[in-house]
Amino acid sequence: MKEKVRVGVIGAGAIGLHHSRSLAHHIQGAELASVADPDPEAARRAAALAPQAAATTDHRALLADPHIDAVIIASPNDTHALLIEEASKAGKHVFCEKPLALDLPSADAALAAVSKSGVKLQVGFQRRFDPGFRKARGVIQEGELGQVELIVSTTRDPKPPSLEFMRRSGGLFSDTLIHDLDCVRFLSGLEAVAVYATASTMFLPGGAEEGFVDTAVTSLRLETGALAVITNSLRAAYGYEVATEALGEKGKVTVGQEQQTGVRRYGADGVWNDHVDHFLDRFRDAYLAELAHFIECVASDRQPEVSGEDGRAALVLALLAARSFREGRPLSVDEASQR
Ligand SMILES: NC(=O)c1ccc[n+]([C@@H]2O[C@H](COP(=O)([O-])OP(=O)(O)OC[C@H]3O[C@@H](n4cnc5c(N)ncnc54)[C@H](O)[C@@H]3O)[C@@H](O)[C@H]2O)c1
């Protein structure tokens, strides 16, 4: 068992800064050793969280540091695959934010590099570490619902990201839907055999001109014949929302934690409660738990629960959903997932 896992963070924006804070202050057995971001201020701000941490604008300097055991990749989606390859070649264990890549050849090259070097790879599907989703999976896997027949999953962001962010993220299917796709696989333990998606650009300024959608409905046929329906929107006036329902013969299980504080005010004008408004609030515990799991796996030489193959499987479905929307027809998964 390794006493301290020394970690470098690559990309120190919203989530990279959050992960840096978790490493510096909350995860036993982890040490924030270095932060790389082309924006020097972002690198400095995150590195300042730990007295010993270095800041650099060049991730290659971080990867060349022999004292670093593992990296957290929290840079834009279009950098993930190449950074996984570089980090594995440098012998660093990798925690990579979703998605694994923006296309399958890059994903496969990254996975091949991981497998050749023998490092560990965990993909950032934090819902798998959320207490509610874990409980729901347990209920389903214990057979308490009987056979799962229908899953309904919804993700809504408070407001859309910038077009600049969209250009690097690959858009709604690779960036947002991918969480729901992984969630369906995680909850049901089933693989999808067909995907059918439709989508619109309802409000994203400049989105239509560049082919970015902000509203989508994706349906999946699972291997048992069960169905899943996923709705995504990049705008919700009331805040951030993730809500999931799985229905079976004996009942249903739902996951959705909408309130920030649990406080509800009752008055003559009705009932009022607050609402979660940011993913960092909704998934605070899950982000911490997924990172703690990764550190523990590196320290004790175990394989992480969420694998590169899970990252690839969700990516296959996300890419297929985007293609189904473009071509206006349902598509089968078989062919698309071939290596
Ligand atoms: N799991 C989740 O719920 C979740 C939530 C938010 C973001 N994410 C993922 O985390 C990643 C970052 O998202 P964000 O919201 O923090 O974005 P962000 O735009 O806030 O931050 C990205 C940071 O990466 C830096 N960067 C750009 N190119 C880089 C490069 N080549 N190498 C290193 N750093 C680089 C930028 O300067 C910026 O500081 C994305 O992949 C996103 O999909 C996941």
- Per residue in 62-83, pLDDT tens? 999 999 999 999 999 999 999 9
Per-residue pLDDT at 257 exceeds 90: no
**165 CA distance to ligand 1 centroid (A)?**
9
**Cis peptide leading into 99, omega within 30 of 0?**
yes
- Among 9, 10, 15, 98, the mutation site with the greatest number of ligand 1 atoms within 8 A of its Cβ is 15
Ligand 1 atom closest to the CA of 125, numbered from 1 = 1
* pLDDT computed for residue 18 by the predictor: 98
User: Under the phi-then-psi rule, with left for phi > 0, alpha for psi from -120 to 50, and beta for the rest, what region is 188?
Assistant: alpha
Whole-angstrom distance, CA of residue 237 vs CA of residue 267: 23
Burial track 100-112 (b if 16+ CB lie within 10 A, e otherwise): bbbebebbbebbe
Per-residue pLDDT at 304 exceeds 90: yes
Using alpha carbons only, give the angle 52, 58, 59 rounded to the nearest 5 degrees. Answer: 75
Q: Mean pLDDT across the chain, nearest whole number?
A: 96
Per-residue pLDDT at 1 exceeds 90: no
Whole-angstrom distance, CA of residue 314 vs CA of residue 297: 22
Mean pLDDT to the nearest integer, 111-126: 98
Give the lowest-confidence range in 52-56, 131-135, 239-243, 274-278.
274-278
Let me know: does 244 contact 152? Beta carbons within 8 Å: yes
**Whole-model pTM above 0.85?**
yes
* pLDDT computed for residue 109 by the predictor: 98
Mean pLDDT to the nearest integer, 227-237: 97
Ligand 1 atom closest to the CA of 77, numbered from 1 = 41
Per-residue pLDDT at 337 exceeds 90: no
- Among 60, 63, 71, 75, the mutation site with the greatest number of ligand 1 atoms within 8 A of its Cβ is 75
The number of residues making up the chain comes to 339
* pLDDT computed for residue 259 by the predictor: 85
Q: Which residue has the tokens 């899970």?
A: 310
Q: Where are the beta strands (DSSP E) in the chain?
A: 5-10, 30-36, 54-56, 70-73, 93-97, 121-124, 148-156, 192-200, 215-222, 227-233, 241-248, 251-255, 264-267, 270-273, 331-332
Burial track 41-80 (b if 16+ CB lie within 10 A, e otherwise): ebbbbbbebbeebbbbeebeebbeeeebbbbbbbbbbbbb
What Cα–Cα distance (Å) separates residue 61 from each residue in 64, 66, 132, 209, 298? 5, 10, 39, 39, 22
Whole-angstrom distance, CA of residue 150 vs CA of residue 248: 7
Let me know: does 260 contact 276? Beta carbons within 8 Å: yes
**How many helices (H) and strands (E) are present in the chain, helices listed first?**
14, 15
**99 CA distance to ligand 1 centroid (A)?**
11
Residue with the smallest CA separation from ligand 1 atom 9 is 97
Mean pLDDT to the nearest integer, 259-284: 90
Whole-angstrom distance, CA of residue 91 vs CA of residue 93: 7
Per-residue pLDDT at 269 exceeds 90: yes
Per-residue pLDDT at 262 exceeds 90: no
Residues having CB closer than 6 A to ligand 1 are 10-16, 36-39, 42, 59, 74-77, 79, 97-98, 124, 126, 175, 279
Residue with the smallest CA separation from ligand 1 atom 20 is 13
**76 CA distance to ligand 1 centroid (A)?**
4
**280 CA distance to ligand 1 centroid (A)?**
14
- Chain-centre distance for alpha carbon 223: 23
Mean pLDDT to the nearest integer, 122-143: 97
**260 CA distance to ligand 1 centroid (A)?**
25
**Nearest alpha carbon to residue 275 among 259, 292, 263:** 259
